[in-house]
Chain A
Amino acid sequence: MEFAAVVIIFINILLAVNLAVGTTPIMVWWERRVSGFMQGRSGPNRAHIGGIRLGGLVQSVADMIKLAFKEDFIPAFIKHKMFFIMAPVIMFICSFLTVGVIPFADRLVIDGVTYTMQALPIDLGILWFLAFAGLSVYGIVLGGYASTSKFGILSSIRAIAQVISYEASMGLAIISMLIVYGSVNLSDIAEYQGGLLFGFIPAWGIIMQPLAALIFIVAAFAETNRAPFDLAEGESELVAGYHTEYSAMRFGLFQVSEFAAMSAASALIVTMFFGGYQVPWLNTQALQENINIVLFAMMIILPATIYFFTQWIKKNNTWVDENDPRAKESKILIKIFKGIAIAVVVILALLLLFGLGTNGTNIATAMIQVSTFLLKFFLINFFFVWIRWTLLRFRYDQLQLLGWKVLLPLALLNIVITATYVLVLGA
């Protein structure tokens, strides 16, 4: 195998692993800070390594280390020890594999060879997501069953009923998208969204199919067991549901797989409805043709953003006690950010001076697209957190009514309308 192929495959797998697992501490941190912001308190901001707090991110690293080194404990009354051990692993693997089919950038051409920017080079796309989203419920079921407690069993029953009823609407919403895109391959879907609608609107899924987008996003919340659909772990009724009896890293695995499922869902929402890796109004070809202008724009925008960010740090990141190491954090961070800004400007200027070859243009385009994808991905993840701290949890019967009596008929109606439109206009 060639060197370029090895590097590209390695980068893709690294991206997929980091999106699925590596984002967990960041998501835990966001969840705490956003909830703090919404409830008018500050959230975690004390823990530090040599004075560096990173706005509380160090706290979730500390929590992670604590979970990993805690004693692994299995209660004596657990009859099915094998199920008890397997459950978090099944859930983790299923959530983890879903990210594999997400394209992070357009097909990359290096020395005439085309590489797909996916961790798993298969074209099953959306079906792969559906399959593993359906399988991940076995983790919850086995965990709840093996816990040998009423809370666990009740939460498993709720999780199954919820996943089955929302999978139907989700599949139907996907079908209406497939009628538009004409392919199940996520790379094709993202490529389609690089076009323009009526000549000036980006042809994103959410603009062409707002109803399908709404149904899919609601169903994705239910599939990932996130609030307002987190009935499986409703604290007020079921203690902690299926992970009541779990502790240490087994509980940690449940937690990680919950965030991995959330990441997979938001990566899929980005790819299906928000243009994937496409920069709005600049598809791959346009990017490659105008790469110098884009790099020049980045050379101005990035340092400006960093300037405003450092001003924000100076104003908000303070510590009262002068002698505490945490008081110096702002200065250190500002220096680091200024260094990054200078490095970015120098590298971009050098690239502009000496010009990019064909390979260089392609790689730069891919890097811009991966950054765009990551930006959209984190925005959708923020949306997940935002919803969790805004909406109240549904009651169980309300959840079933919403699934079967509202979302399912709407999804069917949407399919009929889309199919008629496509058939009549021949689009």
Chain B
Amino acid sequence: MIDIFFILFAILAIGGAITMITAEEPMYATLGLLISILSVGGFFALLNASFLFMVQIIVYAGAVLTLFLFLLMFLNIKKEDLPHEPKKYMLITLGAVLMIPINMLIFKALSTLPNIDMVLVESDFGTIKALGMQLYTEWLLPFELISVLLLVALIGVIVLAKQKSKKEIKQ
């Protein structure tokens, strides 16, 4: 059962990613990315990581991609507004070929993995409470540092946006 779902989500994730790269319409590209992200959320659910599953949907699908769509519709970007790309598919193929060595490396690393049973370590592994306990006891300092980093980025965005508007007003 889990294998069937894994294959389904894998097909959807890869298909969504391909749609995102090749689609002519920006709207289709965004929705392709959305399907890819939702399928990755499905992978988390299969791995019993229910918190990551929910956060994937709430943050990426619910907030980040809706912001993308908001910008697309706000600026009303259409197929005609995008730059003409005659060599698009050739470049995509070139990129795929360039990625082959890295893929080979990953395959090699995977094939040398010891052959053990891939079951979940504990039944509450990845649930909200277990994850929270880990984050706030053992990994408190890295967690707080990351939140400070995010805060810095947040303030940086506001400062940059404000500066630009001031200059525009002076002109």
Contacts and interface: CB of A to CB of B under 8 A. Distances in A.
A128 interface: yes
A164 B76 contact: no
Given A131-B62, A134-B66, A163-B66, A157 B57 contact: no
Contact residues on A (Cβ < 8 Å of other chain), bracket:
20 to 34
B57 A164 contact: no
B73 A134 contact: no
A60 interface: no
Nearest to B61: A135
Main secondary structure of the interface of A (DSSP, over half): helix
A304 interface: no
Contact residues on B (Cβ < 8 Å of other chain), bracket:
20 to 34
Contact of B27 (A133, A145, A183): A145
B155 to A, nearest CB: 15
A396 to B, nearest CB: 13
Contacts of B129: 183
A127 B54 contact: yes
Interface string A209-251: 0000000000000000000000000000000000000000000
B67 A164 contact: yes
B76 to A, nearest CB: 7
A156 B71 CA distance: 11
B63 interface: yes
Nearest to B53: A124
B54 A124 contact: yes
A419 interface: no
A336 interface: no
Interface of A: 80, 83, 122-124, 127-128, 130-131, 133-135, 137-138, 141, 144-145, 153, 156-157, 160-161, 163-164, 167, 183-184
| Top 5 A-B pairs, shortest CB-CB distance | A134-B62, A127-B54, A131-B57, A160-B70, A131-B58
9 contacts: A124-B54, A127-B54, A131-B61, A133-B62, A134-B58, A137-B62, A137-B66, A156-B73, A160-B66
